[in-house]
Amino acid sequence: MKIIMLGAPGAGKGTQAKKIAAKYQIPHISTGDIFRANIKNGTELGMKAKAFMDAGGLVPDEITIGMLLDRIQEADCAKGCVLDGFPRTIPQAESLTKALKDMGESIDYAVNVDVPDESIIRRMSGRRACLACGSTYHIVYNVPKTEGVCDVCGQQLVLRDDDKPETVKKRLDVYHEQTQPLIDYYKKTGVLAEVDGTMDMEEVFQAIVRILGA
Ligand code: ADP
Ligand code: ADP
Ligand code: ZN
């Protein structure tokens, strides 16, 4: 099963993608996590991506598309995958459609997690991230067992540089301009599924499971 998560920054794509990956036993592929891991390890890719990310913009398609297409051809994706944070532009979506077609495959579901902008700012300012393992928490809605420490791997949690309110506004503008058009793109191909992302995390997940099937 090949699934795409659509939605604004902070809508809960990553939270839901992790639950989907666990339930359906497919890898969770987050382009944001891949970029952050590269930044942490000081790779050339990381250095290229960082300036764009810190400014709240998108990493250029020339860098992002090749990286993602390589990743989905790895062996662990044979049974499917859940893509979180890709595609984010129409050229990315078109490249993905074509690459899958060449492999004799296609996207099964594009799940749009719908959350209004007002709630986004609240979610992002309270988000705490583990840069070591990609887990995310929230200071009100998803509190770690020990304050400031990742439940999964024990590393220190951080407020991401790009989750500060000034940058979040810019990211929302970029989302509306470049990523929201993907909702129509996937509606046209008949794979779009809409979910109300304002419910609590477990309710959102149950709504997704009703779409994907048990
Ligand atoms: P969010 O929590 O906003 O969904 P992500 O972790 O998915 O954030 O992405 C963080 C940043 O990484 C984005 O703001 C962007 O700069 C970069 N990024 C991630 N995925 C992509 C992509 N598909 N295309 C371009 N840039 C991306
Ligand atoms: P995205 O990957 O779309 O950027 P995340 O999954 O990282 O979003 O979620 C953004 C923040 O909101 C995180 O702090 C997360 O714990 C929290 N969050 C996710 N889903 C919900 C929800 N349904 N209700 C309240 N908070 C949520
Ligand atoms: Zn961790």
Cα 11 to averaged position of ligand 2 atoms, centre (Å): 6
Nearest CA to ligand 2 atom 12: 123
How many domains are there within the chain? 1
Q: Specify if 208 maps to a domain.
A: yes
β-sheet bridge partners, residue 83: 4, 29
Domain membership of residue 21 as a residue range: 2-115+169-212
Q: What is the mean pLDDT of each run of 10 residues along the chain (214 residues)?
A: 97 97 98 95 96 96 97 96 98 98 96 95 93 94 97 96 92 97 98 98 98 92
> What's the DSSP call for residue 12?
S
Q: Which of 58, 138, 171 to mutate to test the pocket of ligand 2 (most atoms within 8 A of CB)?
A: 138
Q: Specify if 93 maps to a domain.
A: yes
Q: Specify if 161 maps to a domain.
A: no
Q: Which of 30, 141, 180, 199 to mutate to test the pocket of ligand 2 (most atoms within 8 A of CB)?
A: 141
**CA 149 centroid distance within chain:** 22
So what's the pLDDT on residue 87? 98
Q: Specify if 25 maps to a domain.
A: yes
Structure tokens at 181: 């058009």
Q: Do the annotations mark residue 153 as ligand-binding?
A: yes
Q: DSSP states of 33-97 as a string?
A: HHHHHHHHTT-HHHHHHHHHHHTT-PPPHHHHHHHHHHHHTSGGGTT-EEEES---SHHHHHHHH
Helix (H, G, I), strand (E, B) or coil at 131: coil
So what's the pLDDT on residue 151? 98
Q: Which of 43, 113, 90 is nearest to 185 (CA)?
A: 90
pLDDT tens-digit series, residues 120-141: 988 999 999 999 999 999 999 9
Q: Specify if 158 maps to a domain.
A: no
- Angstrom distance (rounded) from CA 11 to CA 92: 20
Radius of gyration of the chain (CA): 16
pTM for the complete prediction? 0.96
Q: Specify if 192 maps to a domain.
A: yes
Q: Specify if 153 maps to a domain.
A: no
Q: Specify if 154 maps to a domain.
A: no
So what's the pLDDT on residue 55? 94
Structure tokens at 151: 């439940």
The CATH code of the domain that includes 20 is: 3.40.50.300
Cα 182 to averaged position of ligand 3 atoms, centre (Å): 31
> What's the DSSP call for residue 176?
I
